[in-house]
Structure 1
Amino acid sequence: MMSAQTRNRIAAAIALSAAPALAACGEEPEELPVIEQIVVREPGQPIAAAVTGGGAADLVAAGEAAFSLCSSCHVAEPGQPSAAGPNLHSVVGREAGALDDFAYSDALTASGITWDAAQLDRFLTDPSAAVPGTSMAAGAVADADRRAAIIAYLASLGQ
């Protein structure tokens, strides 16, 4: 289950990434809330180095850094072909199993999932528990802050 703090971080990152698009449409974006956070970590945990100010932009930057582990199987660039895993550009809002250039497991295709922050959090916590029979054998992200950062990064793509 995603904590309220994690949901707020993801929502702030999504709102921050959507603000320029709203301004381009002639609408004034709402004033975004100020996000303040103190991150305390044990030495050697890399998310602390990436999240220094606690703002939505920092969370997205931390997610981009954390996504580097995922990039051994996934790409997240528009127009790039899927690799060992599907291209995750614009994954938020996409139905699971929807890309034509990737051979998804039957379990994922039949899951009925539309990827949002909560579904991504559940899946990244334990892919096999979230979708029994998925072919994503690796990739569980145990650290909730790291998952939140990755999800914020993915949500910022294709906005």
Structure 2
Amino acid sequence: MNKSSENSGKKENLSKKEVEKRKLQKQKEKQEKKEERQANSKKGKSLEDMMAYIDEDGNITSTPPDPSRKKEVNLEDIQIGVARQAEGEPVSLIRTGTVTFFNESKGYGFIKDQRTQESIFVHINGLLDRVRENSKVTFEVEMGHKGPNAVRVKLVK
């Protein structure tokens, strides 16, 4: 055997020893982590240690509630679902406003609602009369894909 083949054989042996050493180190670390998990395990704790309570403000706490502060609740008072709307005066569907912008070539514009000061989109297909900027109009609102749209827009005479 020549010298070069002997050296390459020793290098292989060293790397095999290194691999074996690393493998043993990983096993040792894994065993230590396992022992640590078992030491910190919550198994074997009493039921009282695992209990959680909710205080009068709805916060989770480890202390049981004070029985003297207990409140009685009637089942009828518990509301499940959405509350019904109170019957009030019906909201007028027809609104009034001013055209703040309208581009006839593109076929759209915006109307400022007189009551809410909300800017509402209007398309040329929603017009009943021809409008210009600063025209006073009446209109109705319908929800479109991107928000409220003014429809059935008429000039105020």
Whether TM exceeds 0.5 here: the answer is no
- Greater relative CO (CA pairs within 8 A, separation 6+): 1
More helix by share: 1
Larger Cα-atom Rg: 2
More strand by share: 2
Shorter-chain TM band: under 0.3
